[in-house]
Amino acid sequence: MIKLDRRNFIKGAGAGGASCALATMLPGTLAALESAPLKGVGKEVASICEMCSTRCPISARVVNGKNVFITGNKAAKPFGGKVCARGGAGHSLLYDPQRIVSPLKRVGERGEGKWAEISWDEAYQTIAKKLNEIKRDHGAESVAFSSKSGSLSGHLFHLGKAFGSPNHFTHASTCPGGYVVAAKAMFGTKVKRDLGNSKYIINFGHNLYEGINMSETRAMMDAQMEKGTKLVVFEPRFSIVADKADEWFAIKPGTDVSVALALCHVLIEDGLYDKEFIERYVEGFDEFAKEVKAYTPEWAAAISDVPAADIRRIAHEYASHAPHAVVDFGHRATFTTEEFDMRRALFAANVLIGNIERKGGLYLGKKAKTYNKFAGETVAPILGKPGVEGMPKPTAKRIDQVDEQYAMMWSSGGIYQTILDATLEAKPYQLKAWVMSRTNPMQTMTDRARVVETLKKLDLVVCCDVYISETAAYADIILPESTYLERDEEIADKSGKNPAYYVRQRVVETIGQTKPSWQIFKELGEQMGLGQFFPWQSMETLQMLQLNRDTSELRRIKEQGYVSYGKPLMLREPEMVSAFAQTYSNAKPVDEDGTYGSQLKFKTPSGKIELSSKKVEGMAPGRGVIKYREVDLKQDDELYFIQGKVAIHTNGATHNVPMLANLMSDNAIWVHPLTAGKLGISAGDAIRITSSVGSEEGTALVTPGIRQDTVFAYMGFGSKNKELVRATGKGVHCGNLLPHKTAPVCGMNIHTTGVKLAKI
């Protein structure tokens, strides 16, 4: 077994591992400054990072009007007061000479790279005229709106709703959609992991040491280093999370569900499950138990290549730490058409040991409304929403939810890739325009050629972005957004076990003609004749509305940047419940067993956790009970192609940021030495990788850290538009290799396929 201490932990297996802990100390952080020497006392501004969607609280240092350093906000304890490499590189984006600072109009063919600067007035007038014509001729539903999640999506989707379109999308179906929809089916809501208090973690390729999320990454790191938590990883390659594990199993791609179901089989058949918990909180156990009877470790071993004895042993070890143990349900393992049942099987392994609302297990978020109800008083203010009267109700159905089986996908997430079907095949009806804010489907969706075809076919493409991204390169109009270091935004909810709020604040003056997205979409709305739906004049007005005009609370949140209210609460954890009840004199009475177990309810049709679901059965016949189904990911003569995140970059968004491009500008194709030998490939050779939809050239990284039947590449590289000069043509473009396929029920865009390799 590998012994971990702080020193050998951060030594890591590569750049990604080290960057996680050391990012804020990277040399070159001051490189963004001009040559003038720094003078004066620095000012620290509390704000929120936007280098990925995690949105960590940050503290940004400003000297002589320039942002020179970014670190974590020390007041935000769950985040450890740190940022990752990407978070530390925010000013490299802010001062990048290649970011766009003026509205642009396409003057050549789409994607040709010919642009002219225009005024904001001309940009708004052009877009408004065209969108209103499309609405008149084809209906508001023929326009799709897609956005990065967070405050940006709120403002763009508000415009979309005011316009009358039901079609709004984030990147949900290309990233977290599978486990969110599975959680909704089983628990009726999202659930969170308490990794920091877990004593035993089973992980199916949720690569938190590369796909970094500061609070969870640090929690898991601390649990491993300080508390001796055991980590078992099932993943086809030796990723950094596998490197940091006590045990790593090179599972066959796409077979995770078989191992998860075999773990459930052992928990049930060997009587290791929490019977009392199941009786009290679970619906559909008998159907599930009947189904998993056949899913023995021996059966799973034949499918997954994970030895049966290990599956059995791990199930016993896991149960012996119950309820302070967890099976991480997180995303970005292999994606297959069985994504929905894979995530449900992972949740089921948690439910069986009764770790819900227990330390080290899973828990439900406690926002102000819930927390105040338990406390019997107002511990945290409840954030108000600006009400706008008379918003139109779309008459058309969404393009992605005409099929009943997808009805569990939340509407502001949506099944993003259906934009391609609606545009190219009028399925279920014809789309005519696409308005985007900070999304780059050319990298995050599959089948890049089809995305290009879609963008070329539309009557209008608008992109609001900080760079001419690979997708923005095909826009008619590009609207330059201020970076997050130049923007104020609404107060955001960051509640976990107790309520917490934080706020993004402008750190430096806006550069060029850029504007924050809330202002862009308000002004565009006014130009489109929808001004009555945007009554607020400033971000401050919106913040005041949120806090019911409590100026002192607003000042406090702005000064501290992150404010947490009350104490952490898990309803079935006696110590926490006792501390909570002693703090609030009007708190709900505690149960006889010292918990709030009687208050634990789920928003499912039965009010319980649904291990088997009649609702899902009704939506997608045959899928009510969690089952194993064989998946078809590749032909016999092909290799599995899997992709994943790297700690230095975020999806397709940061590859042109100077500091990050300097750290890593290229991806290589991981190939096992035996596979490489058979194909005559040596380390560093130029190779061609070909799938059913595309072909890419790259460099071979020959390593035993991957299965013989699998190849891997980090995602987001290989941009093909010339505007992103630091990223263009560097590495393999994963989206160009992946076919356009959607998983049942959860609507996930599948990110695993078959490929062939050849030396060039």
- Give the residues lining the site for ligand SF4 (CB under 6 A): 49, 51-52, 54-56, 83-84, 86-87, 212-214
Of 73 and 604, which has the nearer Cβ to ligand SF4? 73
CB of 46 to ligand SF4, least distance (A): 14
Nearer Cβ to ligand SF4 (193/358): 193
Nearer to ligand SF4, 55 or 450 (CB): 55
| Distances, alpha carbon 257 to alpha carbons 260, 314, 334, 600, in Å | 5, 16, 10, 28
Closer residue to ligand SF4 in complex, CB, 69/281: 69
Decide whether 52 or 676 has the Cβ nearer to ligand SF4: 52
Nearer CB in complex with ligand SF4: 165/170: 170
Q: Which is nearer to ligand SF4, 51 or 732 (CB)?
A: 51
Q: Which residue is nearest to ligand SF4 (CB)?
A: 87
CB of 212 vs ligand SF4, minimal distance in Å: 5
Residues 521 and 123: beta-carbon distance below 8 Å: no
Tokens of 270: 């060997």
Q: How far is the CB of 485 from ligand SF4 (least distance, A)?
A: 12
Q: What distance in Å separates the CA atoms of residue 678 and residue 587, rounded to the nearest whole number?
A: 68
Residue with tokens 């019977």: 275
Q: For 454, what's the count of Cα atoms within 13 Å in the CB-facing half-sphere? A: 28
Closest CA relative to residue 629, chosen from 639, 620, 637, 640: 620
3-state secondary structure of 687: strand
In angstroms, the first-to-last Cα distance of the chain is 41
Is 60 or 259 the residue whose CB approaches ligand SF4 more closely? 60
**Rounded to the nearest whole angstrom, what is the least distance from the CB of residue 260 to ligand SF4 in the complex?**
27
CB of 203 to ligand SF4, least distance (A): 18
Sheet of 104-106: strands edge to edge? Answer: 115-117, 104-106, 477-480, 460-465, 433-437, 143-147, 168-169
**Minimum CB–partner distance for residue 151 and ligand SF4 (Å):** 14
Could you tell me the smallest distance in angstroms from the CB atom of residue 52 to ligand SF4?
3
d(Cα 389, Cα 532) in Å, to the nearest integer?
9
SS (H, E, C) 461-528: EEEEECCCCCCHHHCCEEEEECCHHHCCCCEEECCCCCCEEEECCCCCCCCCCCECHHHHHHHHHHHC
- Write down the least CB distance from residue 416 to ligand SF4, Å: 21
Q: How far is the CB of 442 from ligand SF4 (least distance, A)?
A: 21
Give the pairing of strands 43-48 and 57-63: antiparallel
Nearer residue to ligand SF4 within complex by CB, 83 or 364 = 83
CB of 570 to ligand SF4, least distance (A): 24
Backbone φ and ψ of 277, nearest 5°: -65, -45
Q: How far is the CB of 55 from ligand SF4 (least distance, A)?
A: 5
Max distance between CA atoms of the chain, in angstroms, equals 74
Q: Which is nearer to ligand SF4, 86 or 634 (CB)?
A: 86
- Residue 445 beta carbon to ligand SF4: minimum distance, rounded to whole angstroms: 21
Alpha carbons 402 and 281: distance in angstroms, whole number: 33
Query: What phi, psi does 45 have (nearest 5°)?
Result: -115, 130
Name the E strands within 224-293.
230-234, 247-249, 282-283
594: left (phi over 0), alpha (psi -120 to 50) or beta: left
Which tokens sit at 746?
């959860």
The distance of closest approach from Cβ of residue 214 to ligand SF4 in the complex, given in angstroms and rounded to an integer, is 4
| CA atoms of 513 and 28, how far apart (whole Å) | 27
User: Contact 745/405 with Cβ under 8 angstroms?
Assistant: yes
Distance between CA 55 and CA 52 in Å, rounded? Answer: 7
Of 494 and 558, CB closest to ligand SF4: 494
Give whichever of 213 and 304 is closer to ligand SF4, judged by the CB atom. 213
H or E stretch including 299? helix 297-304
The CB-of-384 to ligand SF4 minimum distance in angstroms stands at 26
Minimum distance between the CB of residue 76 and ligand SF4, rounded to whole angstroms?
10
Rounded-to-integer distance, Cα 465 and Cα 472, Å: 8
DSSP 46-85: EEE--SSTT--EEEEEEETTEEEEEEE-TT-GGGTT---H
Please identify, using beta-carbon distances, which residue of 87 and 731 lies nearer to ligand SF4: 87
β-strand partners of 117: 104
Residue 295 half-sphere exposure, CB side, CA atoms within 13 Å?
26
Using CB atoms within 10 A of its CB, is residue 529 exposed (0-12), middle (13-18) or buried (19+)? exposed
Nearest to 342 by CA among 258, 263, 282, 250: 258
Choice between 81 and 747, CB closer to ligand SF4: 81
| Number of separate helices (H) and strands (E) present in the chain | 26, 27
Contacts 24+ apart (CB under 8 A), 543-552: 543/490, 543/491, 543/503, 545/384, 545/385, 545/386, 546/383, 546/384, 546/385, 546/386, 546/490, 546/491, 547/381, 547/383, 547/384, 547/491, 548/381, 548/384, 550/381
Measured from the CB atom, the residue of 218 and 522 that comes closer to ligand SF4 is 218
Report yes or no: 325 and 200 within 8 Å, Cβ to Cβ.
yes
Q: Is the peptide bond before 323 cis (omega within 30 degrees of 0)?
A: yes
User: What is the smallest separation between the CB atom of 235 and ligand SF4, expressed in angstroms?
Assistant: 21
CB nearer ligand SF4, residue 462 or residue 485: 485
Min. distance of Cβ 498 from ligand SF4 in angstroms? 20
Task: Rank residues 561 and 624 by Cβ distance to ligand SF4 and give the closer one.
Answer: 561
